Amino acid sequence: MYGMIHRALRQMVLDERGEEVWSSIQRTANVGLSDFISSATYPDEVTQRLLSTSSEVLGQDSGKMLEQFGQFWIRYAEASSFASILAFTGQDLVSFISNLDRMHRTIEDVMINARMPSFSVLAHDVGQIRVEYRSTRTGLAPFVSGLFLGLLERFNLNGSVSLISEDSKKSIFVIHYE
């Protein structure tokens, strides 16, 4: 994965647990500053190691941590130079999720090593969106749940996210909001 993901994870731990906890994660996962170059790609195994070490050191269930990290990523992007990309992706929840693929596809042209996800809005109704998520990776469903929770927060909506089906190719989520 691109180093920007590593930077975000590091920022989450630093914000929530401080420098010492992060140093110990870094030591245990055997990573150094050179693993945090945003525009460089690293084997998924490094990202995985960082994530699993973080959940071990923080004493958190790995799914829970991934979800929390997804939610954090939206806040992190909002506070960084990615903010304008978020704004450009959509100005309301439905447009945003409908436009996610276009945003990722376009970015893929500069970040040529990325393995982008695919999101499609299957149906939307008042207070409810049904979204399909496809990926070449597995195990990221909790991360996606967290991302959607982060989006609810971004659009000032109260709501919840449920994963209603999951197989090796796709996961289906329903986002309920008031």
Contacts to other proteins by CB under 8 A: 4, 7, 30, 32-34, 36-39, 80-82, 84-85, 87-91, 95, 98-99, 102-103, 106-107, 109-111
Check: CB of residue 44 under 8 Å from CB of residue 137: yes
Examine residue 77 and tell whether it contacts ligand HEM (CB under 6 A). yes
Considering the complex, what minimum distance in angstroms separates the CB of residue 30 from other proteins? 7
Check: CB of residue 73 under 8 Å from CB of residue 85: no
Mapping DSSP onto H, E and C, the string for the chain reads CEHHHHHHHHHHHHHHHCHHHHHHHHHHCCCCHHHCCCCCECCHHHHHHHHHHHHHHHCCCHHHHHHHHHHHHHHHHHCCCCHHHHHHHCCCHHHHHHHHHHHHHHHHCCCCCCCCCEEEEEEEECCEEEEEEECCCCCCHHHHHHHHHHHHHHCCCCEEEEEEEECCCEEEEEEEEC
Examine residue 174 and tell whether it contacts ligand HEM (CB under 6 A). no
Considering the complex, what minimum distance in angstroms separates the CB of residue 21 from ligand HEM? 25
Considering the complex, what minimum distance in angstroms separates the CB of residue 36 from other proteins? 6
Instruction: Choose which of 31, 147, 161, 175 interacts with ligand HEM (CB under 6 A).
Output: 147
Examine residue 107 and tell whether it contacts ligand HEM (CB under 6 A). yes
Please tell me the distance from the alpha carbon of residue 27 to that of residue 13, in angstroms, as a whole number. 14
Examine residue 21 and tell whether it contacts ligand HEM (CB under 6 A). no
Considering the complex, what minimum distance in angstroms separates the CB of residue 40 from ligand HEM? 10
> Quick one: 88 or 169, whose CB is closer to other proteins?
88
Examine residue 140 and tell whether it contacts ligand HEM (CB under 6 A). yes
Which residues here bind ligand HEM, judged by CB under 6 A?
1-2, 41, 77, 82, 85-86, 100, 104, 107, 111, 114-117, 135-137, 140, 143-144, 147, 151
